Copies of this chain bind each other. A is one copy, B any other.
Amino acid sequence: MGKRVIVVGGDAAGMSAASQARRANPGLEVVVLERGHHVSYGACGIPALIAGDIAAPEALVALTPPAVAARGIELRTDCEVVELRPAARQVVVRGGGTWRYDYLVLATGAAAVRPAWAGENPANVVTVRSLQDGIDLRRWVDSAGGRRAVVIGAGPLGLELAEALARRGVDVSLVARAKQLLSGFEAPDVEAVTAALTAVGVRPLLGRTVASLRCAAGRVAAVVTDQGEVGADLVVLALGVRPASELAARAGLPLGAAGGLVVNDRMRTATPGVFAAGDCVEVPHVVTGERVFAPLALTANRTGRVAGDNLAADSLGRASSQRFRGTAGSLIAQVAGFTIAGVGLNAAQATAAGFTVAVFSREYHSRAAYYPGGRPLRLRIVVDRHTRRLLGAQMVGEEGVAGRIDVFAAALHGRLTVDDVYHLDLPYSPPYGPVYDPVIDICGRASLEL
């Protein structure tokens, strides 16, 4: 009989691990235990589901249960693992059943941050993390059980959700402690986004600290801030996520500084037979080399694939060629007609990491100056003064951001200097950019000034 792989968690990382394990060694018995009802869904599409751009939640499901079965994977949904027993190579599920494993993959993901003031979880205070969360929020919008939503948090997800709700006719307030949207970006770069978001009907209430929620009959009636109350039929918490690593921690697996599981570049933990992948682990950053929490879809998919391939190779007594090479913290989001993107470190992060930083920023045009239809494009790069190496880049604009930002991602992986990027022969045509593309031009300026 084949060896058994238990995968805890059936989203991007877990299903990638399960699928790759079976592909690489069809002799393995692979069982996925998923606490929720859905597996392998595109969580990044939830704002589009809320907005109604995507009609049915099923569209977000990448792998249906029959497709999972066709891959030879045994799937148990609504099956929560409540305890790991690494010494016995067992996991315990809610209700008391146990599963023995030869290989274990922990893919428990991330959990939405819920601050203390959010209290005893009133029914109308929600986070949006799982597909079920998205379905529930979409239902709320469709049934129009209330018309005032307060979104708390001005990161990418908060903005996407606020816009989606506003576009559906909901009265939306966006409350955040920061004085600007997207605090990882510089204020001048996101001013136009704030205006555009306001134009689609979102009311930004920035620089406000939430003190508490005022409840009546078990439901929140208002968000109480240091600058007054904001009435609410629904409160959406979009305050970020943290690694969902408690299950592993309770079993004695060590966590890193960022709260994620510690793994090597094969996604192996120090515990025999135990791999981990996805949002619950810490991964190396390509710029600093330090282990970070990077809850990003591509990283989850990739680390899952690496875990699956390595455990399968191990089961065959071979070595896998697959390693995870690191994250660049790469981010892109569409908000109110703008594309907001960043890769690598911003100035504050780079300074905190010990670099002596030079920043170059400039407003460009997305097309040749004379070509009709172009839009402004703001670009900012962070450079190591000593080595001239690029450390990060951020871009905001209505066109020409996606793809263009990718060049900087490649530059970070390749440890390119601003001089290197200045010399890139990027294809040019007036509908797509000026002859010295913004990417080239800003690095040329840095190259001269440094």
Contacts and interface: CB of A to CB of B under 8 A. Distances in A.
Interface of A: 12, 42, 44-45, 48, 53-54, 59-60, 286, 296-299, 301, 325-334, 339, 341-343, 368, 370-372, 400, 402-407, 409-411, 413-414, 416, 420-421, 423-433, 435-437, 439-440
A423 B371 contact: no
A407 B405 contact: no
Number of copies: 2
A42 B404 CA distance: 22
Contacts of A414: 410, 414, 416, 420
Contacts of A341: 427
Contacts of A404: 402-403, 406
B403 A435 contact: no
B370 A426 contact: no
Contact of A424 (B334, B413, B431): B413
B325 A423 contact: yes
Given A60-B370, A403-B403, A435-B298, A409 B425 contact: yes
A435 B370 CA distance: 35
Contact of A428 (B330, B420, B433): B330
A48 to B, nearest CB: 6
20 contacts: A42-B435, A44-B435, A45-B368, A48-B430, A298-B425, A298-B428, A326-B423, A326-B425, A328-B425, A330-B426, A330-B427, A330-B428, A400-B402, A400-B403, A402-B433, A403-B432, A406-B407, A406-B439, A407-B407, A410-B424
Nearest to A402: B432
A444 B410 CA distance: 15
A427 B405 contact: yes
Contacts of A286: 425
Contacts of A436: 298, 301
Nearest to A439: B406
B372 A425 contact: no
Given A53-B372, A403-B404, A343 B425 contact: yes
A257 B406 CA distance: 36
B430 A45 contact: yes
A180 to B, nearest CB: 21
A59 B368 CA distance: 11
Nearest to A410: B410
Given A402-B431, A410-B424, 13 more contacts: A42-B368, A42-B435, A45-B371, A48-B431, A326-B423, A330-B427, A332-B429, A343-B427, A402-B432, A403-B404, A407-B407, A409-B426, A410-B411
Given A372-B53, A414-B416, A333 B429 contact: yes
A301 B435 contact: yes
Contact of A402 (B44, B48, B334, B403): B403
A319 to B, nearest CB: 16
Contacts of A428: 44, 296-298, 330, 332
B371 A48 contact: yes
B430 A42 contact: yes
B430 A409 contact: no
Contacts of A333: 429
A416 B44 CA distance: 30
A21 to B, nearest CB: 16
A450 B428 CA distance: 32
B332 A425 contact: no
B370 A42 contact: yes
Contact of A299 (B59, B343, B425): B425
Contacts of A59: 370
Contacts of A400: 402-403
A240 to B, nearest CB: 17
